[in-house]
Amino acid sequence: MFKILLIILINITLFSKELLFLNYPKSLPSKEVNTSFGKELINLINNSKKSIYFAIYGIRNQTDILKALIDAKNRGINIKVVVDSDSRGNNYYTDTNQLYKYFDVRTDSKSHIMHNKFFIFDEKIVWTGSSNISDTGTGGYNSNNVVIIENKEVADAYINEFNQLFNNKFSKKKYEHSLENIKTKDSVISIYFSPKSNTYNKGLKNIVKNAKEYIYIPMFYLTNKQIAYDLKQAHKRGVDVRIILDASAARNKYSIHEDLRKQGIKVKVENFGGKMHNKSMIVDDKYIVSGSMNFTKAGNKRNDENTVLIENSNLAMQYKDFFLNLWKIIPNKYLYKNPNPESFESINSCVDNIDNDFDKSIDLEDSLCFKWWTVYVYLFV
């Protein structure tokens, strides 16, 4: 009866100190951990020896990850947690309250967002990227990316950030402590923590301005006008600029994608159902950008975020292949129009039990899903 998106799930890793995990969106949200990076997260939890510190937006419907953390605590692992909450102490994700029952948890309770998604294991391994710990994130419904870095300098930078958050220094109360040009066997790594790092201007602007061949951006929200200007300039000098944007984010009144389209930049809006949730960039078979920061003013200047810039040709080329495969999956008509995020135009969005367009109506309660269903019944049943 319903058109189902083929499940395509891949794990891309390099056997060095920097590992890259990517997943294409699968057919529906899942309480099972159905992503390579989610399974690797459980593996890291299970193999931790002394400590796990993590800062996440929240947790929902991922009992295997929660159980692994509880088991780690029971075997004596020191676990500390930071999560987001609003001024009333509420979190967007329904199971976040479970963390308070088992662990030492801190939260910001302010209007800005603690939007990080990172873990630090034994003060030497960092797991970070765009994925939330949820049935749509680590469960696999959304498109996401995660990097794992085993490097003491990188881990120390994340511990510094975590300690500030854990000691109730959020957003602009923190001090600036970005880390640049850390050389490993295969990579050069720089790390920026919003809002103090001014991540775009300090860390990402130069790679956009100096791009020679291509800039590929798989992105959830894209509203930053400075980035828009620099992308237009890159396009004018002949750089192949392509963007894949989330369908719900395309409805945001501040989205810059229509302006970029008018300038000749190719922007496809996804029709997966699951979100285009990556917050990343690939440049010239040389650089990848990963982390929690959307390309927005709030992500750069207000929220608590982390962004990793990695110079590594192998990772860049593999991420490029992933991006181009996603590009092929999305119909070309969405170079010019925007699919409604909750309608049968967006595959599975009317049967996923998710409020994809944030209008407080889910699946057949949503007018566009209901309209399609009534037409289907009238014509075919």
Amino acid at 27: S
Concerning whether 108 is annotated as a catalytic residue, the answer is no
Average pLDDT over residues 67-71: 98
Average pLDDT over residues 193-206: 94
Of the residues 174, 257, 279, 301, which is catalytic? 279
Of the residues 277, 301, 304, 352, which is catalytic? 277
DSSP string, 278-334: -B-EEETTTEEEEES--BSHHHHHTSBEEEEEEE-HHHHHHHHHHHHHHHHHS-GGG
Q: What is the pLDDT of residue 9?
A: 34
Q: Which residue has the higher pLDDT, 37 or 379?
A: 37
Amino acid at 86: D
What are the tens digits of pLDDT across the range 260-301?
A: 999 999 999 999 989 999 999 999 999 999 999 999 999 999
For residue 229, pLDDT over 80 is answered with yes
Q: What is the pLDDT of residue 371?
A: 66
Average pLDDT over residues 3-32: 66
Average pLDDT over residues 352-360: 90
Provide the pLDDT confidence category of residue 45 given band limits of 50, 70 and 90.
very high
User: What tokens appear for 38 in the block?
Assistant: 């989610």
Give 275's contacts (C-beta < 8 A, 6+ positions apart). Answer: 25, 136, 141, 142, 143, 220, 246, 247, 248, 356
Of the residues 230, 246, 284, 352, which is catalytic? 284
DSSP string, 131-198: --EETTTTTSSSBEEEEEEE-HHHHHHHHHHHHHHHTT--GGGSPP--EEEEE-SS-EEEEEEETTT-
For residue 377, pLDDT over 60 is answered with no
Average pLDDT over residues 27-35: 94
Q: Which residue has tokens 């920026």? A: 192
Q: What is the pLDDT of residue 92?
A: 83
In the sheet with 18-23, reading across from the earlier edge strand, the strands are 18-23, 144-150, 125-129, 117-121, 51-56, 78-83, 104-107
Amino acid at 326: L
State in Å, rounded, how far the first CA of the chain is from the last one.
Answer: 11
Concerning whether 279 is annotated as a catalytic residue, the answer is yes
Q: What is the pLDDT of residue 10?
A: 37
For residue 176, pLDDT over 60 is answered with yes
- Parallel, antiparallel, or unpaired: how do β-strands 266-269 and 125-129 relate? unpaired
Distance between CA atoms of residues 192 and 307, nearest Å: 5
Q: Which residue has the higher pLDDT, 370 or 239?
A: 239
Domain spans, the chain: 18-335
**Residues 58, 62, 68: CA angle, nearest 5 degrees:** 100
3-state secondary structure of 23: strand
What are the tens digits of pLDDT across the range 126-144?
A: 999 999 999 999 999 999 9
Kindly state the percentage of the chain with pLDDT values over 90. 82
Q: Does domain 18-335 have CATH number 3.30.2040.10?
A: no
Distance between CA atoms of residues 64 and 68, nearest Å: 6
Query: Do 38 and 59 contact (CB within 8 A), yes or no?
Result: no
Average pLDDT over residues 160-169: 96
Query: Do 17 and 185 contact (CB within 8 A), yes or no?
Result: yes
Least confident of 6-20, 50-64, 246-260, 344-358: 6-20
Nearest partner of 171 among 298, 318, 65, judged by Cα: 298
Give 360's contacts (C-beta < 8 A, 6+ positions apart). Answer: none
Provide the pLDDT confidence category of residue 224 given band limits of 50, 70 and 90.
very high
Least confident of 4-8, 40-44, 115-119, 365-369: 4-8
Provide the pLDDT confidence category of residue 27 given band limits of 50, 70 and 90.
confident
For residue 181, pLDDT over 70 is answered with yes
Provide the pLDDT confidence category of residue 367 given band limits of 50, 70 and 90.
confident
Distance between CA atoms of residues 226 and 205, nearest Å: 9
Give the mean pLDDT of the chain.
91
Nearest partner of 249 among 213, 183, 319, 298, judged by Cα: 298
Judged by phi (left if over 0) then psi (alpha if -120 to 50, else beta), residue 153 lies in: alpha
Nearest partner of 19 among 122, 116, 138, 151, judged by Cα: 151
Average pLDDT over residues 230-241: 98
Distance between CA atoms of residues 313 and 317, nearest Å: 6
Provide the pLDDT confidence category of residue 164 given band limits of 50, 70 and 90.
very high
Concerning whether 277 is annotated as a catalytic residue, the answer is yes
For residue 12, pLDDT over 60 is answered with no
What are the tens digits of pLDDT across the range 84-130?
A: 987 666 778 889 999 999 999 999 877 689 999 999 999 999 999 99
Query: How many CA atoms lie within 13 Å of 226's alpha carbon, on the beta-carbon side?
Result: 16
